[in-house]
Structure 1
């Protein structure tokens, strides 16, 4: 992942300082620790909002880094034989694969709960 550009908001609104010893406050980056599979509580639901009526299976509640999320998403997409995406801490699988996704995640050791209808 490439580093994001520094913008004015990153500096708390400070544009210029005449103090020669002034140092811009650096934001602390905390590494998200990945939980073991049996400690993860995932929710699987069907979502049709803002997708033109197309149904997607939505998996939420994953705790871990973006690489781990991508890895799990790729595994689920491959097993279901469809496309999808992993963004904003959620996994989107194209189509209604709730039952299959729940079974696959339970085999991996995740605590899974079906949510919604």
Structure 2
């Protein structure tokens, strides 16, 4: 069996100067750009719909297709919930606002420069 050197093991993993480092670019984990979040690809249309399925008859407004990374999506969700005076969440890239606020949400998104379509009935 051949003897392995440190470079064969993948390089530097920890440094006392910067802490944990990325094995690919050898930067500090906080400064690593290898796995930088990218904007999701889509058709550029934000779709807003109302749904009650699986929610015991309670209606929610769903916003899909917003081309933002997760942190920006959470901030947008917070803005929409505050403007509608309602609760909600962000799950799997979909903003959910409690209640029937389709028209209000569409106006807010258009004011921010998004191309918006109403989806569903």
TM-align CA RMSD: 2.6
Unaligned runs of 5+ in 2: 11-23, 25-33
Compute the TM-score of the two structures, normalised by the length of structure 2.
Answer: 0.68
1:48 to 45, 49, 52: 52
1:61 to 55, 59, 65: 65
Compute the TM-score of the two structures, normalised by the length of structure 1.
Answer: 0.70
In structure 1, the residue matched to 2:91 is 87
Q: Displacement of 1:34 after TM fit? A: 7.3
CA radius of gyration, larger in: 2
Q: In structure 2, how many angstroms separate the alpha carbons of the residues matched to 1:52 and 1:91? A: 19
1:96 to 82, 86, 100: 100
Where relative contact order (Cα < 8 A, 6+ residues apart) is larger, the structure is: 1
Q: In structure 1, how many angstroms separate the alpha carbons of the residues matched to 2:39 and 2:100? A: 30
The yes-or-no answer on 1:110 pairing with 2:114 is: yes
The yes-or-no answer on 1:72 pairing with 2:83 is: no
Q: Displacement of 1:22 after TM fit? A: 6.0
Deviations 1:24-60 (A, max 9, x none): xx8x73521379xxx9420000111111111000000
